[in-house]
Amino acid sequence: MNYKVPCILLLISVSLYYLLSPAPPLSDEQLTTHLKDKVVLICGASSGIGEELAYQLAGHGAKLVLVARNQDKLDVVKEGVVKLGATDVQTISFDFSDVKGSSGVINQTIAWFGKLDYLVSNHAAMGNSAFLGFPYRQEPDFIEKIFRVNLFSHIELAVHALPHLEASKGHMLFTSSMAGEAPLYRMSIYCSTKHGMNGFFYSLQQELMARESPVSLTIGSVGYIATKDLSQIVAGEGMTTPAWATGDVKECARGMIESYITRPPTMTYPKLYVYVHRAMWYILPVSSFHKTIIQIFKPPGTVGTGYQEALEFVNKGREIAKKLNFQQGYGPDDGK
């Protein structure tokens, strides 16, 4: 194997890591000073990163509005944040495939608290199945629904939150992905929604700057985060992820919270993994990049590209996969 290209990419990535790393982490005291009594709306708060954000923000005295589809899960998270000392917590059960109705989430938050300081638009319908391998993924209604959840609802939230955030000189964070910067095998629809998110919100950053708005906007470029549900899916498909490429959900949430205060244009996590991926996409010829990604995602013990084996793994782990494909119910049978 020729190690020259990987070594060059690693050197570039490590250099970027140190050159582009933000300021030193903020202390708990600094976070509490900035966040106490601030109103934070978290969309996608019933599990994963959103759930962890709620727990950490509760410890800093923030007032929380938690949004997700599943009210039972929201009730569990609410109980947890109350135990951590939160006194002002509200929940909204809402399906973000209803794009026009997304404005109601903002309106209800204002009705409860009279203001909004931070919008955390974190919800997503995720998928990890080959587009050509499963006919339901090629249906226009299915594709449109994922775009409504992963892109259009985020835009709708931004539009309706902006006047309130301008009044409070607040901040918006939109959880995107390294899948919005480079293609990922078996995630074509998800990648396309995240590319759309990056295109829209980076352009919106420019417009906010041009109109000298007091509102800032961070795009979260997030790689693989070892949440409980995602780890189950990966294990169910017989895949393993190296430790250096795996992000910790607590550390990721902490980085997002710090970005509410430091307000960077992009929050990258886990840094080294995402920087390596970026470097591969921009430096390797396209065909070389594609072949590398296919090898990385190839099921263990298979020959060739492992495409058919990958489809069998998904079918074999059907019950587990439905929790992610899609945990919020965005699957071919609505997750039931």
Q: Which residues are catalytic?
A: 190
Structural element, H or E, at residue 210: helix 188-210
Please identify which residue in the block is written with the tokens 């607040």.
170
CB 90 within 8 A of CB 111: no
> What is the CB neighbour count within 10 angstroms for residue 216?
20
Strands 89-93 and 63-68, by their bridges, are parallel
Give me the DSSP letters along 103-129. HHHHHHHHHHHS--SEEEE-------S
Q: 270: cis peptide before it, omega within 30°?
A: yes
Cβ-contact 177, 126 below 8 angstroms? no
193: Cβ contacts below 8 Å, ≥ 6 apart: 124, 146, 147, 150, 151
DSSP 232-284: HHHHHTT----GGG-B-HHHHHHHHHHHHHH--SEEEESHHHHHHHHHHHHHS
Cis peptide before 289 (omega within 30 of 0): no
Alpha carbons 80 and 88: distance in angstroms, whole number? 13
Cα–Cα distance between 316 and 209 in angstroms, integer? 49
The residues, any chain, with a CB within 8 Å of residue 84's CB and separated by 6 or more, are: 55, 58, 59
Question: Taking the CB of residue 122, how many other CB atoms lie within 10 A of it?
Answer: 24
Question: Hey, is 175 helix, strand or coil?
Answer: strand
Q: Residues 105, 41: contact at Cβ < 8 Å? A: yes
- For 61, counting Cβ atoms within 10 Å of its Cβ (0-12 exposed, 13-18 middle, 19+ buried), the class is middle
